[in-house]
Amino acid sequence: MEIWINPACSKCRSAIGLLDAEGADYTVRRYLEDVPAADEIRAVLARLGLEPWDITRTQETAAKELGLSEWPRDAAARDRWIEALAAHPKLIQRPIITADDGTAVVARTEEAVRDALSR
């Protein structure tokens, strides 16, 4: 499995701590440094079963500067949202764990991390 993290994020550190405590085999991706391309974001969204606006941190400065709260949340705007996430990776909700079974979870809670571990 892979976990997308921002090391400054307490939720990310908690998720890593739980993965380590459980002896999980995982790879860390510091997604602010190793920025996912739009196609990678599309693939993760498919694994999550979510839309780009569902994993967007809308309170970030970049989101406010882009006016994301005013953007439509529909199929026609989907690519625009994905391109914004690729251009401004800080907008991506974290941590995201891609599980070995091909699914993914936004692992902001202990329950979500345990869910990923069980897959």
- Catalytic positions are 9
Whether residue 47 contacts residue 54, with contact meaning beta carbons closer than 8 Å, is answered with: no
Q: Which long-range contacts (CB under 8 A, 24 or more apart) does 77-80 make?
A: 78/51, 78/52, 79/38
Within a 10 A sphere around the Cβ of 18, how many other Cβ atoms? Answer: 17
